[in-house]
Amino acid sequence: MRHQLIALVLGEVPHEVRGELFPARAGKSKPVYSQAAAPAQVRVGEERVLIDGRPVVFQLRGYPPDVLLLEASLDVETLFDQKVLALTEMLYREAYRLLEARGGEPLFSEEYSVFAVSGYEGPPEQFLDHAAVMASLLKSEGLDLDPKEIEHTLQAHIKYGMNDMAVVDWNGAFLFDDLGDFDEDIELLVLANLQLLRHRILDRQLDERLTRLGELAQKTADGRPFRRSELASGLRETIRIRTSSISALQQLDRQIRLIGDWYSARLFDLTARKFRIEAWRNVLRGKLESVEDIHSMIAENFSVSAKHRAEWYQILAFFVLQIGWFLLIILEFWYFT
C-alpha cells in the first residue's frame, strides 16, 4: 500500500510566467474535447530541497499570466497519523520560501493538501475507521474534533468506481484509488484553488479601484479641479477591469460546463461549493456594479461642472466684450473731440 502526501501552493507573482506547455493530465471519465477546455499550464522548472532530512522535488508550473503553482509529493509510512500535520507544514514553509524568492506574496496565495492512498484491496470505506484523523488532516487542525464535525467533514465525498473515493474539504482532500489514478483529481483540485485565487485577486483590484474612485469623487464634492485625462484614464481602467473580470468569472465555468455531468464536473462542483465560489462571485458582481455606478456619477458631475464652467466663461467673455466696446466709444469720443 502506498501513502502519498502532496502539497500544493498557488501564488500570484509580479511577472509573466513562461515555459513549455504542460499537457493536461488524463482523466477517469470525460469527453476528449475537455482536455482543450482546461486553462493553459506551462512548465517553469523544478527545485530540489531537503525536508526533514529527505530529498523532495518541487515541480514549478504556471498559469499565465501571473499565477505560479508549486507542487511537491512525499511518500510516508502512513497518512493516518497526526504527525503528518507537522510534515505538511514543513512542505508549505519551503513552498512559500520558493514563492517569495520569485516575487510572490503569501497574502495572495492558496495552499492545499492532498492525502493519496493506493495499492489496497477492497472498498475505500474501510479507511473510515480513521475518520477522526482524516477530518483533522483535512482541516489542518491539531485538536480533537467533535464527532458531529467529523461526520459533517466526511460527508463531502464522491465516488466513481467501486474501489475509489474522494473526500473534499476547504484545506485538503483525501483521495483513495486502488490503482493510484490520481492525476485528474489533483488537477481539478488545483483548478478550483486557481479559481478561488483569481477571485481574491480580482476582489483586491476592485477594492483598489473603488478607493481611487472614492478619492476622485471627493475631489468633485469639494469642488477641487482635476484633469480630464484623469477621468479618461479612470474610464479606461474601469473598462479593463470589467472586461478582465467578466472573462475571469466565466472562463473556468465555461470550460467545466464543456465537461457536463461527467465525474470531472461533479468533483469540481463539490470542491467549488466547499470554497464558496458562488458567494465570491456574488461579491465581485456587487463591487463591479459599485465601480460602474461611482464612475458614472463622477462622469456626470464632471459634465455638469464643465457645463457650469462654460456658462461662466460665456458670461466673462460677454463682460470683456462690453468693456471693449466701452473703451472703443471713449477712444472715438476722445479722438473726434
Q: Is the pLDDT of residue 309 over 50?
A: yes
25-79 pLDDT, tens digit per residue, is 655 555 555 555 567 889 999 999 999 889 999 999 999 989 999 999 999 999 9
Q: Is the pLDDT of residue 316 over 70?
A: no
Average pLDDT over residues 10-21: 93
Closest C-alpha among 39, 42, 37 to residue 262 = 37
Q: Is 259 exposed, middle or buried (0-12, 13-18, 19+ CB in 10 A)?
A: buried
- Say what the pLDDT of residue 238 is: 66
Q: Is the pLDDT of residue 307 over 60?
A: no
Residue 87 in contact with residue 147, Cβ under 8 Å? no
Kindly indicate the confidence band of residue 304, based on its pLDDT and cuts at 50, 70 and 90: very low
Residue 163 in contact with residue 124, Cβ under 8 Å? yes
Q: Is the pLDDT of residue 109 over 60?
A: yes
pLDDT top residue among 159 and 329: 159
- Comparing 209-218, 277-286, 311-320, the range with the smallest average pLDDT is 311-320
How far apart are the C-alpha atoms of 8 and 91, rounded to whole Å?
Answer: 9
How far apart are the C-alpha atoms of 234 and 297, rounded to whole Å?
Answer: 13
- Say what the pLDDT of residue 246 is: 64
237-274 pLDDT, tens digit per residue, is 666 666 666 665 666 666 665 655 678 888 988 999 99
pLDDT cut 90: percent of the chain above it: 50
Residue 304 grid cell: 455638469
Calculate ∠ Cα 118-120-121, nearest 5°.
Answer: 145
- Say what the pLDDT of residue 265 is: 81
What are the angstrom distances between the C-alpha of 211 and each of 92, 224, 251, 263? 33, 17, 27, 42
Mean pLDDT rounded to a whole number for the chain:
83
pLDDT top residue among 26 and 209: 209
Q: Is the pLDDT of residue 2 over 80?
A: yes
Average pLDDT over residues 197-226: 76
Segments in the chain forming alpha helices (H): 34-37, 83-101, 131-138, 147-154, 183-222, 228-259, 263-274, 277-336
Q: Is the pLDDT of residue 190 over 70?
A: yes
Domain boundaries, the chain: 2-182, 190-324
110-129 pLDDT, tens digit per residue, is 999 999 999 999 999 999 99
Kindly indicate the confidence band of residue 287, based on its pLDDT and cuts at 50, 70 and 90: confident
Closest C-alpha among 35, 57, 55 to residue 45 = 57
SS3 for 55?
Answer: strand
- Say what the pLDDT of residue 268 is: 87
Residue 23 grid cell: 499537457
Q: Is the pLDDT of residue 317 over 80?
A: no
